Amino acid sequence: PSEKKLGAYIRPDIESLPAYVPGARPPAGVTMTKLSSNENPADPAPAVVDAVHRAASQINRYPDLYATNLTDAIAEHWKLTPENVAVGNGSVALLSHALTALAVMGDDVVYPWRSFEAYPIIAQAAGATSIQVPLREDASHDLAAMAAAVTERTRAVIVCNPNNPTGNLITRGELMDFIETIPPTVAVFVDEAYQEYVEDAECSFDLSELANYPNVLVFRTFSKAYGLAGLRVGYCLGDPRLIAAVRSTSTPFGVNAIAQAAAQVALGEQEVMRRQVKEAIEERERVVTELREAGWRIPPTSGNFFYLPLREHAAKLAAAGLDEGVLIRGYAGDGVRVTIGTAAENDRLLEFLAAREPNSS
């Protein structure tokens, strides 16, 4: 009977996994300004909303298993073939599928830290051991230390460019040099969730070199600059062999019909995306300049967010934000990440921070 009470056996490493974001509820009755998830605050383009409505009338049917139209459109956008493209239920799902295809229990995954909070979770879920390489003092990737951390057990190295949550950027030259130093049997994941905020339609990895780097996968998302976070759709680009491996570990029908239709239209609306990116960058510069003038330390950022490296004050500032209705992402003992919202939301944030001592809580 006692065994019955315990229930099913669960892998101990999974039972001890921390939550993606520790649950925190704002006090009742407080209106929230949500600047905690790096979303695009702009309304979706009318053509995208129309595509959602059209696709909605077909939801009694399964979606296209291979997301053929969206895959073709992404391939054409990047001047690649459909065999170079896998789409998924957000780029985080693709990162997870790719690791599952590469690593078994006892293998390593190397990535910078602090970085995207899903990396330790997907590594552990795949059974792999996380090798976290600390960022340098200026919050940039320590690429030399990351290359040095690769062993014969390493199956993948993740580069986050620009890095979430610090915002720092690796240039194409630095990235290509780094990839050269990684053994070809080790996959390099280039997570470019925020790359549209850096250069329109550019890619930090030189895609014309893809044939020479069959170990590289570039991850992109429709959740940020394209403004489709609620639909969950992302993609990865790479050599057909690696792409086939990602597809074979993916859950069937992972990208729903509405997401497929909307993402295809959003990709065609490049002008809308560029305009929204430009607005976000202008707002970011306004906010960051004002805060720096007030004495806040903020590392250079290339995303739709910025970072306050507050160390021991981080958790307190995030908690104060929650109490006052300004939702920002705190990383205890490390820093606070703030997403750029609408002008009004950013004003609310500035007001909240103006009432505090810079660089403390």
Coil, strand, or helix at residue 231? helix
- Strand 234-238, strand 216-221: pairing: antiparallel
Q: Phi and psi of 92, rounded to 5°?
A: -65, -35
If one asks whether residue 223 binds ligand PMP (CB under 6 A), the answer comes out as yes
What is the nearest approach in angstroms of ligand PMP to the Cβ of residue 349?
19
- Residue closer to ligand PMP (CB basis): 118 or 298: 118
Within 2-41, which residues bind ligand PMP (CB under 6 A)? 38
If one asks whether residue 221 binds ligand PMP (CB under 6 A), the answer comes out as yes
Residue whose structure tokens are 């959003």:
266
- Residue closer to ligand PMP (CB basis): 92 or 157: 92
What is the nearest approach in angstroms of ligand PMP to the Cβ of residue 168?
12
Number of residues that bind ligand PMP (CB under 6 A): 13
- Residue closer to ligand PMP (CB basis): 263 or 313: 263
| Listed ranges 87-95, 120-128, 290-298, 341-349: which one lies at the site for ligand PMP (CB under 6 A) | 87-95
Coil, strand, or helix at residue 159? strand
What is the nearest approach in angstroms of ligand PMP to the Cβ of residue 201?
18
| Listed ranges 22-30, 90-98, 255-263, 290-298: which one lies at the site for ligand PMP (CB under 6 A) | 90-98
Output the six-digit token pair for 191: 């997570």
What is the nearest approach in angstroms of ligand PMP to the Cβ of residue 351?
26
If one asks whether residue 193 binds ligand PMP (CB under 6 A), the answer comes out as yes
- Each residue 104-123 as x (binds ligand PMP by CB under 6 A) or -, in order, gives ------------x-------
Q: Single out the residue of 99, 35, 42 nearest to residue 308, CA to CA.
A: 35
Coil, strand, or helix at residue 355? coil
| Listed ranges 41-49, 137-145, 174-182, 221-229: which one lies at the site for ligand PMP (CB under 6 A) | 221-229
Give CA–CA dist 283/169, Å, rounded: 19
Output the six-digit token pair for 245: 């491996």
- Residue closer to ligand PMP (CB basis): 63 or 234: 234
Q: Phi and psi of 9, rounded to 5°?
A: -70, 130
120, 234, 238, 299: which one binds ligand PMP (CB under 6 A): 234
Contact 122, 146 (CB under 8 A): no
- Residue closer to ligand PMP (CB basis): 204 or 223: 223
What is the nearest approach in angstroms of ligand PMP to the Cβ of residue 315?
20
96, 164, 250, 260: which one binds ligand PMP (CB under 6 A): 164
What is the nearest approach in angstroms of ligand PMP to the Cβ of residue 316?
23
Residue 351: how many CB atoms within 10 A of its CB? 12
33, 36, 71, 91: which one binds ligand PMP (CB under 6 A): 91
Give CA–CA dist 322/35, Å, rounded: 11
State the residues that interact with ligand PMP by CB under 6 A: 38, 90-92, 116, 160, 164, 191, 193, 221, 223, 229, 234
